[in-house]
Structure 1
């Protein structure tokens, strides 16, 4: 690659795309990489501010920006994704299904720390729809050393154990059992407005109500109801209410007495601090069933801890205690008058 004056470019081969930007009118490529410049092209090149241009000279030790973008793309592209063709040295990735986006953050950081190259993405651990843009890749210069691209590829793959940096886990059509607790609901003192919220939210991710059991504040009965739903074939159990420290609130004890592994009772998220997450192992069927204890805020707040955890649970993405602890940064919902979640800081 070398620089020549545009007025002397007739017959030269462009080594990068030339873009024309007119504010409010257009931003598009007027000449593509590999275009042979004609005499008629020179005034056009000058009109877009190109008094000098790069022309291609073969160098077996260097990669053009489009070729380097292909290397970066290969580190990212996975099943359930589509990609664009290279344009101006960039390749974009798009979701090809409705699912949960997972990102190997260590590998992504390693690539972006290497210098002269970048991968920009949306946040992981959130749901994506078919057609959503996930990421874009490119190098910064027009050409880059082949050895450098091989080194970054080797380093990234060593971190991911040979897997792509990005993954989309499709949502499972889970059958969800709901245990509605509370004397006030059981005895008909108030209408149950909690369960319909849960049904609507699980439906967003392909889930459906398996069975709803309504009980008074009796921990033994709640324990038995959870185990009954699991025995009948529920893929997930949600307990609504009874999660605070009041003497009548016994749902955490009921979940514990099932023998499930309690991952976290309490979360660094507002609204939703009194949330409980557990996993019950049904060894005879080789199944692991998530059990969620939901505080009352899920019933009335626009967005809560449930909205951060639910997509992961619905995609069979196992949540650890460390994952829960990391929710503290970004775990404060600002409760905006107009909710734009997930296009906000909540859960980021």
Structure 2
């Protein structure tokens, strides 16, 4: 039987509901998985209407009521929206709160083993803040609600996988936060995450911070002082890791299969590398948790919300990878 993937609707004012209904209606996505949506029925009905999508939305209270017939969107209702004040494409606290409620429910379902994985739609950081939700994004929510102190973010596009040593920090602060011990810790945890995804003996490498890896101090000493000793510590712990390798070439070689994953020291380095391969099919996978979560890696696109023109290709790809890796997480 195909894996069952839970999809929260995301920010109601953004394109999340639209790409959700388009994905549920997609023959390609249906080939990969069965899907259940957690969200607001009226929001999803509106998304179907302005997108020209024909789906029958059936509200269920439990997955035992799941209807596997074609053209059915199985919905578990969460996320209250006051439609007298709701505005498509605008930052609203109620949308941030509703998005959080939907995410909390899919996490509960996955932790309980009711679904095989979660594939998330975009949420808006400003809406979360306006809704007094004390998290800045999905990763932090999933970390807290699954009891995972520091989840690992991994991007995958085709066979290129990229982990991140740091996430939402300025470049200066990101580099200042790095230590050999942190590099070693991440190398060990990234290797375990790859093994969890089915790679028995993963080959990991780390991208350099400075041009040409610093050329032994000519262009900066961080690679020799931090990344290299961190890699050596990891190798001493039995991890198959090389580097630091010059960042202008290492992602290309990983895409060609020389490495199973690249550890990127800072946010934009890895984001640019993956998104230049295929922007729409770059998918975020949160590792290190007891459950599997994949996600689109784009925002709520409020400027086009409600126009019916959002492309669901990223969401379909997120469902594909969730279905691909779901068997690795079955208990």
Q: Which has the higher strand share?
A: 1
Larger Cα-atom Rg: 1
Name the TM-score, length of structure 1 as normaliser.
0.24
Name the TM-score, length of structure 2 as normaliser.
0.25
Q: Which has the higher contact order (CA 8 A, sep 6+)?
A: 2
